Structure 1
């Protein structure tokens, strides 16, 4: 049975990092240790545990649990005027069940409910399932640029956004 939860629990930061390690493991060496370190750095910057205790903070993370196993996550990070979609991942064994869609729908509903007019995301090219989900949901391409990425080489950063009002 699928459950989508947004309450923050002890160990959730580690769950996000673990989901990324497992979810990107088969995508090649650029998603190895440097990627894991990058994800941990972004989680540290977001300070999710402290933010989850501030009832006025619009930042929130959702976890997909299938048969009591965590199989995916997605987050909204409050960036002031805009919301940022972060840490979207669904494990391979759980794909094809609409979990990514349900997580994204939860993020978008929360963004609208909490008064954001726009949501954006930053990703890289070559993540076809993610890009397909974003485009079908209404995200539009803002920019693509070649730049140094976490794995020490140049890659293509993709920025997309969606107007919510």
Structure 2
């Protein structure tokens, strides 16, 4: 194992990040419709997060991207809420504490951007992720907020900052 480095996404990361997200979703058996798999932004993640109050991180080891996550204003939501977006890790990155480190970095950035809360949507069977979210202050809420377009992700969680 090499040194793990979490850094902001760069334009040259776009291809690797899109491939990683699609691979993880396929590996986890997620539907390709109504999830991040079908998002048009997937192939231009750098450009998509190159705006105020948004950021996207990658975690790399030995020049290979092992995971990614970001935050941005929640679409179609008038409240001061950001969304934790597209947090995915390859199998070799799981169970090493990297997810907690990445999530912490995203929450710190959300505070820096003065958001009140962080919202996320996930799949019911993604139990390890939900355990991590709960440990980091997220609570289950009964209905979706905003409009993410991810109608195949029926688990909603919110963390106050």
User: Where on the TM-score scale, by shorter chain, does this alignment land: which range?
Assistant: 0.7 to 0.9
1 or 2 for the larger relative contact order (CA 8 Å, sep ≥6)?
2
Where structure 1 has 5 or more consecutive residues not aligned to the other structure, the ranges are none
**Greater share of residues in helix:** 1
- For residues 33-44 of structure 1, the aligned pairs below 5 Å read 34=32, 38-41=36-39, 43=41
Instruction: Give the corresponding residue for 1:157.
Output: 154
Distance 2:34 2:15 in 1: 11
Instruction: Give the corresponding residue for 1:22.
Output: 23
Distance 1:69 1:158 in 2: 30
Report the CA distance between 1:93 and its aligned residue.
1.1
Distance 2:133 2:25 in 1: 18
8 Å contact 1:122–1:158 — kept in the other structure? yes
Q: Specify the SS of the correspondent of 1:89.
A: strand
8 Å contact 1:144–1:156 — kept in the other structure? no
Where structure 2 has 5 or more consecutive residues not aligned to the other structure, the ranges are none
RMSD after superposition: 2.8
**Greater share of residues in strand:** 1
Instruction: Give the corresponding residue for 1:3.
Output: 5
TM-score where L is the length of structure 2:
0.79
Bigger radius of gyration among the two: 1
After superposition, the C-alpha distances for 1:48-77 in whole angstroms (9 at most, x for unaligned) are 50641x4xx011001000121100001001
Q: Specify the SS of the correspondent of 1:24.
A: helix
After superposition, the C-alpha distances for 1:92-151 in whole angstroms (9 at most, x for unaligned) are 012122111111011000011111111100112100111111111110000268xxx97x
8 Å contact 1:3–1:66 — kept in the other structure? yes
Runs of 4+ in 1 over 4 A off after TM superposition: 35-38
